[in-house]
Amino acid sequence: DPLIGGVPAGRIAALAAREAAAYAAARPQCHAALEAGAGAFLGGVPMHWMRDWPQPFALVVARARGARLWDIDGHGLDDFCLGDTGSMFGHSPAPVARAIRAQAGRGLTYMLPSQDALEAGRLLADRFGPFRWQVATTATDANRFALRVARAVTGRPRVLVFNGCYHGTVDEAMVRLHAGRTEARPGLVGQVADLTRSAIACEFNDLAGVEAALATGEVAVVLTEPVMTNSCMVLPDPGFHAGLRDLTRRHGALLLIDETHTQSSGLGGYTRLHGLEPDILVVGKCVAGGVPAAVWGLSDEVAARFAAYDAARAPGHSGMGTTLSANPMQFAALRATLAEVATPAAFAVMEAGAARLHAGLAHAITSHGAPWHVVRVGARVEFICAPGPLRNGTEAEAAHAPALEAALHMALLNRGCLIAPFHNMMLISPATTTRQIDRLIAAFAAVLADLFG
Ligand code: PMP
């Protein structure tokens, strides 16, 4: 019997079968509702990622509040997925819900600014730094638009990304480093453009590789998360970010830091906490408390370069912006989140809770002798079913254990704990209680006892 993450494959399969059956038996109403109503959707779900949860069929959600979520069979779950960060500050934070209610009677979208927009701009600069902001609806779009600006002002074609990265459904980030070469990732739907002309992949933590790529003179911008949160969880080596900034400056490339996930670090994100100096900053997902919104900001210098470019370009479509973006509902939610929800006090609660979870999971791993490890970036905790630390996307890919992780996720769900699909991520919101955290630690330890006992 081969071992996966130190566990015999047969034991994993038995756990998965047991947990899938228990899940299905406990959710007749979810199952019946999907049977009756899901046929209208392509593949039976309104967004195909909803098929990627490990349970036999999706949870149908009745409601969610704070760090709890209830399905239509009446099961309450401690939610550590939190919409994979969109609800990192908890479901329906009271100030955001209030702001939405107030705006609901004043119009939902007008393609014009409101007073909340002006206050949100001041708050963005106060929290994240003196960037020149634009509002988009998803972090994917924020990245896409920012990459266009980077190409425009540098006059260069390529984006440097790190192997194993994720920045939304951005074409330039859909490449990998394989046998030392950049190539399109397998599995892309309908991809016809040659992505290797517009992107180049390097390994995270490999400054020599980055330098070689920058030396081509073709790189407009390096696009990176401060920590690779989408590839297990890979931390930067000491000096990696300083080296990246130095090399990009020396080679005339811009640096775009995508803080969509690493806002979990604290107020102002990892960038502010660690004094990074990006030319472009992207912040998405939870920035407006769960209302779809993302922002991208240019440093003063890049903003001035872009203004000159913009003044000289031919009239016509820019390829940036969408009609529903920067709508008054987003501004209301953005303002409320920045002013009243994403506060230093909230981050202190999140940090302490995540430290407790990290310690509890690490203790369970050690006491069962599992060859696993735990990594944390502020409120964001990830266990990895392989030894660590991981240093790059190649190591992260090798560490990923889909069958084991799926069985484990279902076992946690059946014990009342929902964690993010695709990987092993858990978020602590300001609403998450110590009891919820301790229940997750206990559930995790119980499953480990089963797997390693
Ligand atoms: N950037 C990062 C770092 C992300 O992890 C994601 C989504 N997981 C995105 C951007 C894209 O966000 P969205 O799905 O809201 O477009």
- pLDDT, tens digit, 9 for 90 and up, residues 128-170: 999 999 999 999 999 999 999 999 999 999 999 999 999 999 9
Q: How many whole angstroms from 167 Cα to the centroid of ligand 1?
A: 5
Decide: 139 in ligand 1 pocket, CB within 6 A. Answer: yes
Ligand 1 atom closest to Cα of 294? 15
Contact criterion met (CB below 8 Å) for 426 and 382: yes
- Whether 197 shows a pLDDT value over 90: the answer reads yes
Decide: 283 in ligand 1 pocket, CB within 6 A. Answer: no
- Whether 396 shows a pLDDT value over 90: the answer reads yes
Q: How many whole angstroms from 79 Cα to the centroid of ligand 1?
A: 19
Peptide bond preceding 430: is omega within 30 degrees of 0, i.e. cis?
no
Which amino acid, one-letter code, is at 2? P
Mean pLDDT of the chain, nearest integer: 98
Beta 76-79 vs 417-418: how paired, if at all?
A: parallel
| DSSP secondary structure letter of residue 234 | B
Of the candidates 109, 202, 107, 216, the residue with the CA atom closest to the CA atom of residue 163: 202
- Whether 41 shows a pLDDT value over 90: the answer reads yes
**Which residue among 48, 50, 81, 140 is best mutated to probe the pocket of ligand 1, counting the most ligand atoms within 8 A of its Cβ?**
140
- Structurally, at CATH architecture level, domain 3-79+343-452 sits in Alpha-Beta Complex (3.90)
- pLDDT, tens digit, 9 for 90 and up, residues 54-71: 999 999 999 999 999 999
d(C-alpha 353, C-alpha 6), whole Å: 28
Ligand 1 atom closest to Cα of 168? 11
Packing angle, helices 328-336 and 94-104, rounded to 10: 150
d(C-alpha 288, C-alpha 334), whole Å: 4
Counts of helices then strands in the chain (DSSP H, E): 14, 18
Contact criterion met (CB below 8 Å) for 381 and 425: yes
- Whether 196 shows a pLDDT value over 90: the answer reads yes
Query: If one looks up domain 96-341 in CATH, what number appears?
Result: 3.40.640.10
- pLDDT of the residue at 66: 98
**Coil, helix or strand at residue 79:** strand
d(C-alpha 319, C-alpha 95), whole Å: 34
| Segments of the chain assigned to CATH 3.90.1150.10 | 3-79+343-452
Q: What percent of the chain has pLDDT over 70?
A: 100
Say how far residue 237 (Cα) sits from the centre of its chain.
20
Of the candidates 250, 242, 432, the residue with the CA atom closest to the CA atom of residue 348: 432
Decide: 264 in ligand 1 pocket, CB within 6 A. Answer: no
For residue 235, the tally of other CB atoms under 10 A from its CB is 19
- pLDDT of the residue at 232: 96
Decide: 380 in ligand 1 pocket, CB within 6 A. Answer: no
**Coil, helix or strand at residue 284:** coil
- pLDDT of the residue at 112: 98
Ligand 1 atom closest to Cα of 140? 16
Range 190-205 average pLDDT = 97
Q: How many whole angstroms from 156 Cα to the centroid of ligand 1?
A: 24
**Which residue among 260, 280, 283, 287 is best mutated to probe the pocket of ligand 1, counting the most ligand atoms within 8 A of its Cβ?**
260
Decide: 271 in ligand 1 pocket, CB within 6 A. Answer: no
Tokens (6 digits) for 307? 């203004």
d(C-alpha 233, C-alpha 235), whole Å: 6
Contacts of 216-220 spanning 24+ positions with Cβ under 8 A: 216/158, 217/156, 217/251, 217/252, 218/156, 218/157, 218/158, 219/156, 219/158, 219/159, 219/160, 219/251, 219/253, 220/147, 220/150, 220/151, 220/154, 220/155, 220/156, 220/157, 220/158, 220/159, 220/253, 220/254
Tokens (6 digits) for 190? 């309908």
Range 44-53 average pLDDT = 95
- pLDDT of the residue at 422: 86
How buried is residue 337: exposed, middle or buried, by Cβ count under 10 Å (0-12/13-18/19+)? buried
- The whole-model pTM stands at 0.98
Segment (H or E) for 352: helix 344-367
The dihedral of CA 14, 17, 20, 24: what is its sign? negative
| Segments of the chain assigned to CATH 3.40.640.10 | 96-341
Write out the E strands in 137-249.
Answer: 158-162, 175-178, 181-184, 199-202, 219-224
ipTM of the complex: 0.99
Range 237-263 average pLDDT = 98
- pLDDT of the residue at 221: 99
Sheet strands side by side (includes 132-136): 132-136, 294-298, 280-283, 254-258, 219-224, 158-162, 199-202
Q: How many whole angstroms from 396 Cα to the centroid of ligand 1?
A: 18
- pLDDT, tens digit, 9 for 90 and up, residues 256-272: 999 999 999 999 999 99
- pLDDT, tens digit, 9 for 90 and up, residues 349-392: 999 999 999 999 999 999 999 999 999 999 999 999 999 999 99
CB hemisphere CA count around 400 (13 angstroms): 17
Range 336-347 average pLDDT = 98
Res. 210 pLDDT band, cuts 50 70 90: very high
Angle at alpha carbon of residue 284, lines to 337 and 386, rounded to 5°: 115
Could you tell me the CA-to-CA distances from 320 to 10, 112, 135, 136, 137 in Å, in that order?
A: 51, 16, 11, 9, 12
For residue 76, the tally of other CB atoms under 10 A from its CB is 12
Contact criterion met (CB below 8 Å) for 254 and 302: yes
Look at ligand 1, atom 10, and give the residue with the nearest C-alpha: 167
**Which residue among 259, 261, 262, 283 is best mutated to probe the pocket of ligand 1, counting the most ligand atoms within 8 A of its Cβ?**
261
Q: What percent of the chain has pLDDT over 90?
A: 99
